[in-house]
């Protein structure tokens, strides 16, 4: 690694499963070595001028799956399995505000509902978190809860939506194909949850098949 004149290198921390960016901080050589040895993220705090074990106090440690470095060796990406929120505010990610949005721009300002707009890659992980919340909280009148309580209904809906996708591909618009595919992905995610299998696990199987 090429550390800067202060002996630091920037490190982007990213969720291993979803690709969501969680935070940006800095490592010095000691923090990087501790990260590699313990398999939990350590940073160097520029304000406190000391090593900082991410989540060491809160318990929200960030377990390393892989560390990547860029083309000229002066920046890192740490792919992690988070044990809890990455941000000290309690937000999942430190990047919870839109620069062009309406949130309070002060340090640690609160989030605004609906901001930032979700990026495409966030759809499946956010769906999974929503499904888990529905299973845990069981709100009345929820269609998702109805499917979670009846695996046969969930399976029937997957069969039905599969047919709708095939029909749309045969003679409907590209927009309808995308809409029916979205319905299928939703119902498939619910059905998989009956066996506690996440979409990420299926995607890992696909990764293993790349040749």
Beta carbons within 8 Å of 191's beta carbon, 6+ residues apart:
147, 151, 154, 155, 157, 158
pLDDT at position 210 is 84
Residue 91 lies in a domain: no
The set of residues, in sequence order, having a beta carbon less than 8 Å from that of 208 and lying 6+ positions away, is: none
How many CB atoms lie under 10 A from the CB of residue 98?
Answer: 14
The CATH number that applies at residue 24 is: 3.10.20.810
Q: pTM, whole model, 2 decimals?
A: 0.86
Q: Is it the case that residue 211 has pLDDT exceeding 90?
A: no
Q: Are 127 and 203 members of one domain?
A: yes
The reply to whether 44 falls in a domain is yes
The pair of structure tokens assigned to 117 is 């707009």
Mean predicted confidence (pLDDT) in 73-85: 97
Instruction: Express each pLDDT in 127-158 by its tens digit.
Output: 999 999 999 999 999 999 999 999 999 999 99
Asked if pLDDT for residue 118 goes beyond 80, the answer is: yes
- The pLDDT value recorded for residue 98 is 96
Tokens standing for residue 145? 């809860």
Number of independent structural domains in the chain: 2
Residues 6+ apart with CB under 8 A from 138: 145
In a domain, 93, yes or no: no
Main-chain phi, psi angles of 104, to 5 degrees: -60, 125
Q: Which domain holds residue 193?
A: 120-208
Look at residue 194 and tell me if it is in a domain. yes
Is residue 90 domain-resident?
no
Answer for the pair 86, 60: CB distance below 8 angstroms, yes or no.
Answer: yes
Look at the alpha carbons of 129, 76, 201, 162 in this order and tell me if their dihedral is positive or negative: positive
Q: Is the model more confident about 210 or about 62?
A: 62
**pLDDT tens across 16-67, in order?**
999 999 999 999 999 999 999 999 999 999 999 999 999 999 999 999 999 9
pLDDT tens by residue, 92-115: 999 999 999 999 999 999 999 999
How many residues would you count in the chain? 211
Q: Is the pLDDT of residue 74 over 90?
A: yes
Same domain, 62 and 16: yes
Give the domain CATH number at 196: 1.10.287.1080
The widest CA-to-CA distance across the chain, in whole angstroms, is: 63
- Going from the C-alpha of 156 to that of each of 121, 129, 152, 179, 190, the distances in angstroms are 27, 23, 6, 18, 12
CA dihedral over 34, 38, 41, 47, signed as positive or negative = negative
């Amino acid at each position: 690694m090429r550390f800067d004149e202060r002996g630091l290198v920037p490190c982007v921390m990213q969720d291993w499963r979803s690709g969501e960016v969680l935070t940006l901080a800095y490592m010095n050589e000691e923090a990087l070595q501790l990260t590699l040895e313990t398999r939990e993220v350590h940073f160097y705090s520029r304000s406190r001028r000391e090593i900082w074990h991410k989540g060491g106090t809160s318990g929200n440690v960030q377990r390393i799956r892989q560390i990547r470095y860029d083309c000229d060796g002066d920046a890192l990406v740490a792919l992690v399995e988070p044990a809890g929120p990455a941000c000290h505010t309690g937000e999942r990610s430190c990047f919870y505000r839109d620069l062009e949005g309406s949130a309070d721009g002060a340090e640690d300002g609160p989030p605004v509902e609906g901001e930032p707009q979700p990026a495409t890659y966030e759809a499946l992980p956010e769906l999974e978190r929503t499904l888990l919340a529905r299973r845990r909280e069981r709100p009345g009148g929820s269609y998702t809860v109805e499917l979670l309580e009846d695996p046969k209904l969930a399976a029937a809906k997957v069969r039905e939506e599969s047919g709708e996708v095939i029909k749309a591909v045969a003679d409907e618009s590209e927009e309808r194909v995308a809409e029916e595919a979205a319905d299928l992905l939703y119902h498939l995610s619910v059905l998989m949850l009956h066996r506690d299998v996440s979409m990420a696990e299926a995607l890992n199987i696909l990764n293993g098949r790349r040749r």
